[in-house]
Structure 1
Amino acid sequence: MSTLSVAKTTQPLFDVYAVRRDFPILSQQVNGKPLVYLDNGASSQRPEAVLQAMDSYYREMHSNVHRGAHTLADRATTAFEGARKKVQQFLNAPSAREIIWTRGTTEAINLVANGLAPLLKPGDEILLSQMEHHANIVPWQMLAERTGAKVLPIDVTPEGELDMDSFHSLLGERTRVLAITHVSNALGTVNPVADMVAKAKTQGVITLVDGAQAVGHFQPDVQALDCDFYVFSAHKLFGPTGIGVLYGRAALLEAMPPWQGGGEMIERVSFAGTTYNTLPYKFEAGTPAIAEAVGLGAAIDYLATLDRDAMEAAESGLLQRANELVSSVPGMTIIGTSPNKVPLISFKIDGLHPSDIGTLLDQQGIAIRAGHHCAMPLMEYYGLPGGTARASFAFYNTLEEVEQLFAALQKIQRLFA
C-alpha cells in the first residue's frame, strides 16, 4: 500500500486540467495505463494549436518562401517571416534580422563556433562548465583543435551549482569565449548567466548562452542578459522538431563568415565570385523548415495565452511535491539539489540501474529518461557511470502525476529490496 500522503489543495491559479485538453497526445494510454509524460527535458509535447497551424500551412499555403511571384509564395513568406518576428519578440531581441533559423540548438552552437574561428589563435581560452550538454562541448573542442585554443571547464559543486570561485579564477586575459548553459538538462539548475555574462564582458569575452532547457519554463530576455548569442530548439518550447533559433548580436553576425553555401544566402553569384546576402539570410542556405517555423510561431502564440506567472508557480508546485516525496522511496537520492531549479529531478535508487528504473516505469505508463543525458563529464564528476533516472515536468503535468511517479517508484523499490 502506498505511503504517500494526500497533497494539500487550494483554489488553483492555473487550470492544468483545461490546459491538458490542448495537448491531444496526453489523453492516450501506454501499456494499458494512462500516459504520464515526464520526459519534457528531452522533448516537450505540442498543443493542438501547433498541429493545426502546421496542417493549415500544408493545406492552404505550401510554397517556397521569398522571391515567389504568386499568392501561395506570398502567404508562405508572410507566415515564415511572421514566425521570425514572434521569436524576436519572445526573446526581446532588438531586431528580427538577428534571429537565424537553424535545425536546433546543436546546429546553432556549431554555427557560432565555426564563425568565431577567425578570431581565435593558439593559447586563447574557451570557458564552458562541467554541466554542459555535449552539444555545448564538442563544437568548442573541434574549434580548439582547429585554432590551437584551449577548452577549460568551470567546476560544479556537489549541490549541482556552478562554482563561481572556479569561474572567476579561470576568467582571464586569454579568455575569448564563454559558452554556458542557462539551465542544466541533467540537474535542472538555473545558472546565474546574467552575472557571468556581465563579468565576462569586462574582459571583452564573447558570450553564448544555451537556452534549450530554459525556454520551456521561463521567457528569457536577451537584452537583459546582454549575451552575444542565445540558442534554443523549438521542440523544447512545445513546437516541432527540426528547427531551432540562433539569436546573435548583429555586429558579430555580420563579421562572421557564412555557415553553409547555396541558395538564399547569396545576393549575387558569378564564377568571378559571390556576394553574400544580408542578415538573417546570410546564414540560411537552402530551402528552410517553413512549416516548422510556422509551428514554432504558433507555439509562442499559444504560450502567450497562458498566465506565465501562474504557470511558473504551478511548475514550482510540482517540484516542491516531488522533493517532499523523495523520502518515501528508500535508497533514493536526488542529484542536483540547488534551490534554484526548473521542475526536474535527476535521481538514483540504491541497487537499481537507471535504465531498469526507466523500463519498469514505462510498464506502468510513466515516461522518464535514463542514462547520462548527453552530460558525460557531469556524470563522471558525480561518479555515476550509468547516469541517472530523470523526471522532467512541464506545466501540463499534475500533482497526481507526481504522486503516481513516486507510488510507482515505491513499488519498484519493494520488488527489488
Structure 2
Amino acid sequence: MVNDLDMVGTAVLLAAAPAGRGRAVDAASVLPALAAVSPGALTGTPLATVVELADPLDPQTVLTRLRSAAAAPGPLALYLAGQLQVDRRQHLPHLALARSTPTTLRYTGLPWHWLAAELAVRRAGTTTVVADLVADAELWARLGAAPGLLSLGPGIRLHGRVAPAPRRGGAPAAPDYLRHYATVWRTGARPPLAHLHAEAMERSGPGEALDLTPGAGAPGGDGFPAGAVASTPVRAVVPAPVAVRVAVPVAVPAPTPVPAPMPVSVSASVPEPQRVPEPQPEHGRATAAVDQVVRLTETAPAAHDADPHPAILDAARAGRHGEAVAVAVAWEQVALRRFGARSPEAVHWMEVRADLARLAGEPARSCELWIGAARARLGLGQSPQDPDVEGAVDRAHHQWERIEDPVRGRELGNALVALRRRVPGRRAGALAALQRRMG
C-alpha cells in the first residue's frame, strides 16, 4: 500500500557555475528544458513541487533550500548541473557557485560533504540525484582511481556523468547529459532511469559515468524512490527560476551499534566563549583527503563494542576532514533510524559534526550545528542549566565570534541571542557581550 505522502514528490533543479572567465560549464542553460518537463516526470509521482536555483551566489542559501527539500516526507529528486573544484587548503570537492574563484572556493562554494550530510537524514530509498558535472584537473585525476568518491552515502541513488573541465579560455561545456533526460521526457516517454542514464552517456560525449545506485530496494530498477508512480502529473511549482545567494560519504553497510552519547563532542575540549586563537588541524595527508574517504568508510566499525570516535578524531586532526564527516554521517544515520531525530543519540552525532566543522575551520557551520544541538536538548526536556545544554551554547558563541561573513554572522547572531536569553550560561555577561557585538 502506497502512503499518501509518497504520492507527492519534490524536485530540485540546481544549476551552478562561476560567473566570468572561471565558468567551465553553461549549467543554467539546461534549466529551461527541465522546467518544461511535467513535474511528475521529474519525481515519478502524480503530484510534485519544483524548486529551481539558477546560478546561486551563496552556499548558505543553497544549503537552506536543500535542507527544506530534504525535510519533505515524499520522494526527492535532485537534478544537478555544475562544476566541481577542489579547494586549495583542504583539497575537498566543492560545487562552485556564481561568486566562486579558485582562491575563495572554500567560502563561496558548496562543499560536497554538506550535500551528503543533508541527504543522509532522509529515509533510505526515497532520494534520487541525477548529476551532470565537470571536474577540475585535480579532482578528475582522483576520480580515475576511485569513481565512488562522489557517492552521496547509503540509500541515495546517484545517476550521472562527470567530465574533465575544458581548458581555461575554451568554451564552457554544455550539460548534454541532463538535456537528454529533458528531451525524452518532453515526448511523453517515461523509460526507467537506468535506461535514460545509459542513453544519455552515449549522447553526451567523453566522461565517466556516475551510476552509484543501491541494488536492494530499487523499485523495478527505474531508480526513482520507493513509492513513486508514473501518472498524469499536476504541476505545483514554487516560484520560477530565481538567482539566489551540504569528504564524501560512500555507501557503506550501516554499523550495527550506536555508541552511547559522549558527554562532550568528538574533540573532548570545551572552549570558553571568549576569543582564543583558532585551532589549526595537524599537518597530515591533507592532499589525499578525498582519496582516503573510501578506505575509512569501508572499514566503519561493526563490532558491538567498537568506538568510531578515535578514528573520526584522528582523521580530522590529520586534516582529512572529508573522511571524518563521512564516518560521522554514517553513524548519525544509524542513530536516526534506530532512535529517531528527537533522541540523545541523534543529538550527540549532531554535536560531533559541529566539532568537526570547528576542526575544519568552518565556524559558521559549527555555530549553526551547536545552536541546533542546544535547541534539540532543550526540546528533549533538558534544563537550561544542564551542563550539556550550556556547553552547546558556549561552543556556538565561541564559533560565532570567528565568523567573517557579516551577513551570516548577523543571521546566526540573532538566533544565538534568542538562545542566550534561555541559556545565559555560567559566565556572567555573555548575553550582554553578544548584544554589544551585534550592535
TM-score by length of 2: 0.24
TM-score for both structures, normalised by structure 1: 0.25
> For the pair shown, which has the larger CA radius of gyration, 1 or 2?
1
